[in-house]
Amino acid sequence: MDGLDALKVKYLTAVANAADEAGLEEVRLAALGKKGEISLKMRDLGGMEPTQRQAAGAMLNVLKDEIDAALRAKKAALADTALDERLRSEWLDVTLPGRPRPRGTIHPVSQVMEELTAIFADMGFAVAEGPQVESDWFNFDALNIPPEHPARQEHDTFFMNRAEGDDRPPHVLRTHTSPVQIRAMAEQGAPIRVIAPGRVYRMDMDQTHTPMFHQVEGLAIDRNISMANLKWTLEEFCRAFFEVPSVELRFRASHFPFTEPSAEVDIRCSWEGGQLKIGQGDKWMEILGSGMVHPKVLTAAGVNPDEWQGFAFGMGIDRIAMLKYGIPDLRAFFESDLRWLRHYGFAALDMPDLAGGLSA
């Protein structure tokens, strides 16, 4: 059979020159496809003498195998080149330094709110909320502080401006979290166990007062709740919060219009070398106000005082944050000084939980 050598050169060159898989496939079709040159020559074998056919058939098969092998080898080589190219373009230097972690920190007030929420949640208290711009009925009247009551003056209230002729009820920036007691009872009725952490406002500014600060209100109403339950709850809280094995609380008789009887609560502590230690020593530090919810307060919130009774307390969050974390000046809490925030702030992923140790 003539021309086989020329065919061999032609296709082996074409294979060698194919630039990509598509080009290679074209070469394959031209040589070995149904209508390819080699395939057509195979067909010619039918019209040959048997001896001629045998010789030509053998030569054609060898040529076909040779071209086929060249095609496969080239295909593999093209795939290797493509992979090398991808590896080169997708190269990544794993020794580059990592991205710096976020610089922000959790503010001590946020941290303490999370901590106390975790502790009270463990005792069955849900979190309740109320508005910071509050009607003076919720902030005062419903809490047994009528307009002429001297306690109103003591609160150094910020009053909201009202346009001439606006006869909506007067509003104030809430002076304490106690109005949330009323809202929670009015919404949920009794029995109820809630805490209400949040911002409160008073017109006051010195080393220990800022016009905005944080309180947490506590409220537990049921059929038989007593001062003993209040004492146990507060002791449990202080032990968990200050992370000391024992705390001692002192209940001092006091007066709040919304509780009867009322008590202020002090915690035993010591001051040595400027270091405050909770749970030991011979000093007492006031940390909260509390008492048995006044029947008039229950009535204002739609809860029947002949059927239900319970305790409430209000505690300064900034205060206990200062005590726990040894932060000396209250005003620095709200100055947004980055150095202070980095020093006293907490890592973003250290969410406090009781099992892991609150502040660990």
DSSP 125: P
- Unique residue bearing structure tokens 């294979």: 15
**Should residue 259 be labelled a site residue for ligand DAH when binding is judged by CB under 6 A?**
yes
3-state helix, strand, coil in the chain (%, to 5): 45, 20, 35
Residue from 290, 298, 310, 318 binding ligand DAH (CB under 6 A): 290
The 118-157 site mask, x for binding ligand DAH (CB under 6 A), equals ----------------------------------------
How close are the terminal C-alpha atoms of the chain, in Å? Answer: 90
By beta-carbon proximity to ligand DAH, the closer residue of 237 and 256 is 256
Query: Which span sits near ligand DAH by CB under 6 A: 50-58, 94-102, 311-319, 324-332?
Result: 311-319
Out of 173, 312, 323, 330, the residue judged to bind ligand DAH by CB under 6 A: 312
Reference 173, options 208, 207, 204, 219; nearest CA is 204
User: Which range touches ligand DAH (CB under 6 A), out of 12-20, 47-55, 243-251, 308-316?
Assistant: 308-316
User: Which two tokens mark 192?
Assistant: 């109820």
Backbone phi, psi, residue 197, to 5°: -85, 145
Could you tell me how many residues of this chain bind ligand DAH (CB under 6 A)?
11
Among the listed ranges 90-98, 122-130, 283-291, 298-306, the one in contact with ligand DAH (CB under 6 A) is: 283-291
Q: CA-CA distance, 236 to 244, in Å (whole number)? A: 11
Count other Cβ atoms within 10 Å, centred on residue 91. 7
In 3D space, the residue among 177, 172, 170 whose CA is nearest the CA of residue 199 turns out to be: 177
CA distance readout (Å), 283 to 267, 276, 280, 292, 356: 8, 10, 8, 26, 30
Q: Which of 256, 333, 344, 346 binds ligand DAH (CB under 6 A)?
A: 256
Between CA 193 and CA 184 the distance in angstroms is 9
Stretch that binds ligand DAH, among 81-89, 266-274, 309-317, 335-343 (CB under 6 A): 309-317
Q: Does residue 291 belong to the site contacting ligand DAH (CB under 6 A)?
A: yes
Q: 322, 328 in Cβ contact below 8 A?
A: yes
Question: For ligand DAH, which residue has the nearest CB?
Answer: 314
Q: Which of residues 175-234 bind ligand DAH (CB under 6 A)?
A: 176, 178, 217
Identify the residue whose tokens are 């530090």.
285
| Nearest distance in Å: CB 260, ligand DAH | 10
313 contacts ligand DAH (rule: CB under 6 A): yes
Shortest separation between residue 122's beta carbon and ligand DAH, angstroms: 21
**Where does this chain bind ligand DAH (CB under 6 A)?**
176, 178, 217, 256, 259, 289-291, 312-314
